[in-house]
Amino acid sequence: METILHRIEQIAANEGVKITAFEKIIGASKGVLSRAINNGTDIQSKWLQSIVENYPLYSESWLLTGRGSMLKEKTSTPEVNYECKGAPYYNVDFIGGFDIVLNDQTRTPDYYINFEPYNKEGVIWCNITGHSMEPELNSGDFIAMKEMTDPIEYLPYGEVYGFITNSYRTIKRMGRSNKDGFIRLIPTNKNPEYSDQDIPVNMIRKVYAVLGSMHRLF
């Protein structure tokens, strides 16, 4: 018989993340879900609520009961507005002008993007330039980002992040390095022009999770 834990595994598989990374995303300690899955025990309702909040495209009814479709039938359409609905959009490139947003607390957003999956506290929209992450992220796309406050050593590997050092800003998938104290930056584009790069963790000033992207609205 399929259980809630089986359906949680389905969500993680559909998102392409391991259960350990899934635990981190929903704010659970390492082993909370994996132990429950292995032992067939229940989990606290607060973790179910966190899954619903962090993965709004999935049906709460399906998660709890198994009835209906896994994904919600209707998803929201992105809408631009100037009424503070949704997450703020700044017309700057992460690679080129993101420091403007970081350092100028008086700067107001160009507008807001009301798009349900990303209407969360701390999320902002900006632009991506460059081709190293194509076709996953295309130059000129809007990207939704949120600053990560946990130490980089505890962030899930295999996810896409925006990294800021004293010298440059880049968006790459984070992999495990063979060197102690380093991480590996992995481009999606398989063109020989782009290659993996190991950088020391102590070079990194800020890390932003790339939550999603979309083509320009107009």
Mean pLDDT of 109-128: 91
Mean pLDDT of 75-93: 87
Query: Are residues 105 and 196 located together in one domain of the fold?
Result: yes
Residue 147 lies in a domain: yes
Query: Are residues 42 and 88 located together in one domain of the fold?
Result: no
Band of residue 72 on the pLDDT scale cut at 50, 70, 90: confident
Distance in angstroms (rounded) separating the CA atoms of residues 49 and 64: 10
Query: Are residues 148 and 45 located together in one domain of the fold?
Result: no
Query: Are residues 114 and 166 located together in one domain of the fold?
Result: yes
Q: Supply the pLDDT for residue 100.
A: 67
Query: Are residues 154 and 126 located together in one domain of the fold?
Result: yes
171 has pLDDT over 90: yes
DSSP designation for 21: H
Give the tens place of pLDDT for each residue, 6-19. 999 999 999 999 99
Mean pLDDT score of the chain? 89
Query: Are residues 90 and 41 located together in one domain of the fold?
Result: no
Domain encompassing residue 13: 4-65
Who contacts 140 (Cβ-Cβ below 8 Å, separation ≥6)? 127, 128, 129, 215, 216
Residue 73 lies in a domain: no
Split into its structural domains, the chain has a count of 2
Give the tens place of pLDDT for each residue, 18-48. 999 999 999 999 999 999 999 989 899 899 9
Buried/exposed code over 37-71 (b: 16+ C-beta within 10 A; e: otherwise): beeeeebeeebbeebeebbbebbeebbeeeeeeee
99 has pLDDT over 80: no
Query: Are residues 84 and 126 located together in one domain of the fold?
Result: yes
Query: Are residues 121 and 159 located together in one domain of the fold?
Result: yes
DSSP designation for 65: H
pTM, full prediction = 0.63
Mean pLDDT of 45-68: 90
Mark which of 65, 87, 117 sits at the end of a domain. 65
Q: Supply the pLDDT for residue 101.
A: 66
Residue 71 lies in a domain: no
Sheet strands side by side (includes 123-127): 79-81, 111-114, 87-93, 123-127, 142-147, 204-214, 160-165, 169-176, 182-186, 197-200
Between residues 143 and 71, the one the model is more confident about: 143
Query: Are residues 83 and 61 located together in one domain of the fold?
Result: no
Residue 70 lies in a domain: no
Query: Are residues 47 and 131 located together in one domain of the fold?
Result: no
Q: What sign results for the dihedral spanned by CA atoms 79, 87, 146, 121?
A: negative
Instruction: Say which amino acid occupies 206.
Output: K
Strands 182-186 and 197-200: antiparallel
Give the tens place of pLDDT for each residue, 191-207. 999 999 999 999 999 99
Distance in angstroms (rounded) separating the CA atoms of residues 191 and 76: 35
153 has pLDDT over 90: no
Query: Are residues 108 and 144 located together in one domain of the fold?
Result: yes
Instruction: Say which amino acid occupies 64.
Output: L
CATH of the domain at 20: 1.10.260
Residue 167, phi then psi, degrees to nearest 5: -105, -30
H/E stretch holding 142: strand 142-147
Give the tens place of pLDDT for each residue, 125-151. 999 998 999 999 999 999 999 999 888
Query: Are residues 43 and 113 located together in one domain of the fold?
Result: no
CATH of the domain at 197: 2.10.109.10
Instruction: Say which amino acid occupies 99.
Output: D
